[in-house]
Structure 1
Amino acid sequence: MNKKELSLEQQEELIKILKARFEENMHRHKDIEWNNVQTKLESNTEKLWSLNEMERTGGEPDVIDFDKELNEYIFNDCSPESPKGRRSVCYDLEGLESRKKYKPENNAIDMARDMGIELLTEEEYRSLQELENVDKKTSSWVQTPSDIRERGGALFCDYRYGKVFVYHNGADAYFGARGFRGSLRV
């Protein structure tokens, strides 16, 4: 069996979880029909594997939009706080390797790539916050423009005082309450 493949039983269980979350959170996807989402999911088993990784690491993925032009459903991590299984990581490998001591086990960019997902952009993060407020106690790395990254920095966001804040840190920083949120197109 391919590493990035779920058994039929695992696929069925994940679809059951995703359907329940979808039905409990209709405010995230008002004009989207679950049957259409399920049909897409069942024909994209590698994407199901990625969604399972999002679920396994605490992201609580859910449909947040449909791209009509590309005919793709967009899933985001919708957990109330930054996914627990993806915290305490540097921004990228360069940041991780630049640490002299107390290196974390991983970094956000490589974890997302290995999961088959993308870190949210600042714009995507703000759009998610319009659906519901997340990261009230935690924060999440977001895609960082190359000119900031070239200077050693990386961006992260959170929600405090009724507003979305975008901050910067060295890409080598990591904190127990900072992880990352991902996006997947199916």
Structure 2
Amino acid sequence: MPKSNKKELSPEQREELFGALKARFEKNMHRHKGLEWANVQAKLDANAEKLWSLNEMEQTGGEPDVVDHDKKKGEYIFFDCSAESPKGRRSVCYDREGLESRKKYKPENTAIDMATVMGIELLTEEQYRALQELEHFDLKTSSWVQTPSDIRELGGALFCDCRYGHVFVYHNGASSYYGARGFRGSLSV
């Protein structure tokens, strides 16, 4: 059977994803106090393409979970909540320009390109810090974050991690990549 370009999940994939999301939601109520899973699931049921993006987050090791509820927009905000930077999104340059500037040993992909295909956005520094308020993540890895254009224009990109109980923001050339650096994403549904 030819692979469809539609961003839809099969009934089996939906059931498996809902099972994983519900179990994670119920196990980690400190991330979303006062929210009800039934309301989150209803919102997901009405947004098949967003459900596809959540599945991509799950399949690449992100362990997405609800971290906020924007009452004005009526949206639930999911972040990657894996203990370390998602395994399926590591060893990537920051963006296409960074990748193209490498003369040799080019990685297979970039954080920005992967996020775009997945239908998610890299966390901002502010979002990353908010995530770390819920619990500590990236104790052994690091994650690219959205980089301001003035830094990016000079060839740099930002990444964050958590060491010694503190969140650190660093810089690297956008063309750099490491086995322990990936990226975390956000998705509003």
- TM-score normalised by L of structure 2: 0.97
Residue 88 of structure 1 corresponds to 91
Give the whole-Å Cα distance in 2 for the aligned partners of 1:82 and 1:137: 9
Identity of aligned residues (%): 80
Cα RMSD over matched residues?
0.6
Question: 1:2 and 1:100, CA in 2 relative to 1: closer, same or farther beyond 3 A?
Answer: closer
Q: Distance in 1 between matches of 2:22 and 2:175?
A: 38
Matched, 1:154 2:146: no
Runs of 5+ unmatched residues, structure 2: none
**2:113 maps to which residue?**
110
Residue 78 of structure 2: which of 55, 75, 78 is its match? Answer: 75
Deviation by residue 1:131-178 (Cα, 9 ceiling, x = unmatched):
010000000000000000000000000000110000000000000000
* Counterpart residue number, 1:166: 169
1:2 deviation in Å?
A: 4.1
Among 39, 56, 59, the alignment partner of 1:56 is 59
Structure 2 distance, partners of 1:12, 1:176, is 32
Q: Which amino acid in the other structure matches residue 73 of structure 2? A: L
Flag structure 1 segments of 5+ consecutive residues without an equivalent. Answer: none
Q: Take 2:98 and 2:6, find their aligned partners in 1: how far apart are those partners?
A: 28
Task: Provide TM-score, normalisation by structure 1.
Answer: 0.99
Query: Which secondary structure does the structure 2 equivalent of 1:46 belong to?
Result: helix
The answer for the alignment partner of 1:5 in structure 2 is 8
What is the identity, as a one-letter code, of the residue corresponding to 1:4?
A: K
The separation in 1 between residues aligned to 2:5 and 2:95, in whole angstroms, is 27
Partners of 1:150 and 1:13 in 2: CA distance: 42
Equivalent position SS for 2:186? strand
Structure 2 distance, partners of 1:17, 1:45, is 17
Asked if 1:177 corresponds to 2:180, the answer is yes
Q: Whole-Å Cα distance in 1 between the matches of residues 159 and 92 of structure 2?
A: 12
1:57-83 Cα distance to aligned partner (Å, 9 max, x none)? 000000000001110000000000000
User: CA–CA distance in 2 between the matches of 1:31 and 1:175?
Assistant: 38
In the alignment, the residues of structure 1 paired with residue 187 and residue 109 of structure 2 have an alpha-carbon distance, to the nearest angstrom, of: 20
Q: How many residues align structurally?
A: 186
* Residues in 1 aligned to 2:185 and 2:131: alpha-carbon distance in whole angstroms: 11
> Cα offset for 1:3?
3.1
